[in-house]
Amino acid sequence: MKAARAARMVLAGAVAGAAIAAASLALLSGPRPPDSETAGGPAARAEAAPAADESRPAVAATASGLTGAAPPRRPDGTSGAGPSEPGAAALPGGPAPGSAPPRPAPAGEVRVVTPPGVTPPPAVTGPLERLPAREVPKPPAQPPKVRVLRPVMAETPGIIRAGEIRIRLPDIEPLGVDAQCRGRDGREWPCGAQALAALRAFAGGRGVQCFLPADAQEGNFAIPCRLGKTDVATWLVRQGWAKPAADRRDLAEAEAAARKEKRGMWQETPATTLAEPAPVE
């Protein structure tokens, strides 16, 4: 009996509480007034509309700073949103609002373009000077070495040729091709032609060894040549077809032997036939 009585008392309390809460809510909400009497009615909204329209230029000016469009103009002709105004915004990569634009470097002044995080170059204290381009050094010439030239042709009593390589025999004064010599009887004979024929007979068909640069393929050279152990220039002096140069006193003995033996230009009787070439040592 006691338990049933307690349950009824709890249920009655809950119903009473719900009724009290509903009454309180109704009193707080009350009846809704018509739109004309509220602050949010059509009249109030009409008065608020111009204020909202007046705020749009400021928003547009702020947007123009981001998109690149020209900001509105003031009545005095100046820009509506300058860098010093709160509505201005900086373009990406441009100067910050309120900062001065970058000053171009004067002529002759060094402009530092070192990116952040990289050690800058040394400071320049004077005017810059453009230096000429550095020349690439040429490779050193190859040292001369003995090369065998074949076939060899004598152009004059002192010049031989092998292909595109032309060699003048040094340290001698050879006869010219058109030189004329006079015998003891007074008759002239073509000693220059005889000297050329003698050199061709001596060197023709043989390999002449000359001291040429290793990479020489053409050109004119004044270098010694030899056949076996015989120097070609010395051979010409010894056979009487050339005289030694003034500074080659060591060839004076070969010239004296040619004079004594009446060889080449030193013979008293004009030569009609060529002598057999001297053997090569």
Residue 125, pLDDT score:
79
pLDDT in tens, 189-203: 999 999 999 999 998
Q: Which two tokens mark 156?
A: 């004059």
Asked whether residue 136 carries a pLDDT value surpassing 60, the answer given is yes
Query: pLDDT tier at 55 (50, 70, 90 boundaries)?
Result: very low
Strand partners, 165: 162, 219
Cβ–Cβ < 8 Å for 217, 149: no
Residue range 54-71: average pLDDT?
44
Per mean pLDDT, which range of 95-99, 194-198, 227-231 is the poorest? Answer: 95-99
Q: Using a cut of 0.85, tell me whether the model's pTM lies above it.
A: no
- Closest by Cα among 184, 191, 188, 187 to 239: 191
Domains of the chain and CATH, by start: 144-266 (2.40.50.90)
Asked whether residue 37 carries a pLDDT value surpassing 50, the answer given is no
Question: By CB neighbour count within 10 A (0-12 exposed, 13-18 middle, 19+ buried), where does 18 fall?
Answer: exposed
CA–CA distance, 14 with 171 (Å, rounded to integer): 144
> Residue 144: is the preceding peptide bond cis (ω within 30°)?
no
Task: Please give the helix or strand (H or E) that residue 48 lies within, else none.
Answer: helix 42-54
